Amino acid sequence: MTDTTSTPALGPCSLATLASSDAARLVDDYCSHLHCHVLASDTLTESMAEQWQCAGLAGATYWVLGNANGRAWLRIVDDAGAEPAKPLQRAGWMAMEILVEDVDSLAETLEGSSFEQLRPVANLELSDKIRAVQVQGANGELLYLTQISGEVPPFQLPTASCAVDHLFIPVLASSNRSESLAGYESLAKHGGLSFDTRVTVINQLRGLPMESQHPLATLQLADSSLIEIDQLEQLAAPIKSTQTLGGGIAMMTFYIDQIPQQFTTYQHQQAPYNGRRSCTVYGYDGERIELIER
């Protein structure tokens, strides 16, 4: 039985990984429009590519990007075989929810940029303390740019310390909310919540009535972060190849108290690992999950 009172063993979610055949352009997009800074740039070693079960990417360049305070939250990999994703078509990581200071002002600055605004800035149905805008990046990735203005029980949410702060909720598109949630609850040693709610960006992109509700689950993680799981129908399987990560959001990286013994671990000296034990595993729908031990 999962616990809902103790500190979760999983979290925070530290990085989203984007794979692109035009990676340098993506780096420029995020630095120019979302206030990111390049914190590190390196080459994927053979052992890193082996951990990702994508040996063909050994030798590829990658960049670690972060906010104005130096907190990393994004990794972009130069992947010649990756094509821009079509949102909500495949199971796996579908969106990054990013903490921002002033979502209205930020949305105005994105007009005419490579980030296409999908929905107007609005308060969430869940709480008027959460105000957000949904945009799509050049790699097909969805971003929920979110301003938190107060407490939203029972969730533990962060407050921004700079214009574009960090990733705090990775959003998963799943064929089965319950099965996906159970896998993450096992890693977190913590219980989640399940409910139905309206998700306007899903309704818009799938041509559904705007009042349609969807089965969701959330799991509280350490350091005021969460996982959101959206159950959707008619999802193709994620791309799984030894030569490419596939386009869009290819992987999410989480810190964990201790990596379970059954997983094969690696130790890399490069950022973001810095010598800590890590592993890459797959979730219920085949999404890549990277774990780094604290």
Q: Could you report the per-residue pLDDT of 157-176, keeping only the tens digit for each?
A: 999 999 999 999 999 999 99
**201, 124 contact by CB (below 8 A):** no
- Give this prediction's pTM: 0.95
Q: How many residues make up the chain in this entry? A: 294
DSSP string, 74-135: EEEEE-TT-----TTSBSEEEEEEEEES-HHHHHHHTTTSSSEE-S--EE-SS-TTEEEEEE
Could you tell me whether strands 122-123 and 249-256 are parallel, antiparallel, or unpaired per DSSP bridges?
A: unpaired
**Alpha-carbon distance 285 to 179, whole Å?**
9
- Other CB atoms within a 10 A radius of the CB of residue 25 amount to 14
Q: Which CATH architecture has domain 10-293?
A: Roll (3.10)
For residue 192, which amino acid is it? Answer: G
**Alpha-carbon distance 56 to 49, whole Å?**
7
Q: What is the pLDDT of residue 3?
A: 62
Q: Cis (ω within 30 of 0) for the bond into 12?
A: yes
For the chain, 294 residues long, the average pLDDT of each consecutive 10-residue run is 74 97 97 98 98 97 98 98 92 97 98 95 90 96 96 94 98 97 98 93 91 95 97 92 94 98 97 97 97 96
Q: What is the pLDDT of residue 235?
A: 94
**244, 79 contact by CB (below 8 A):** yes
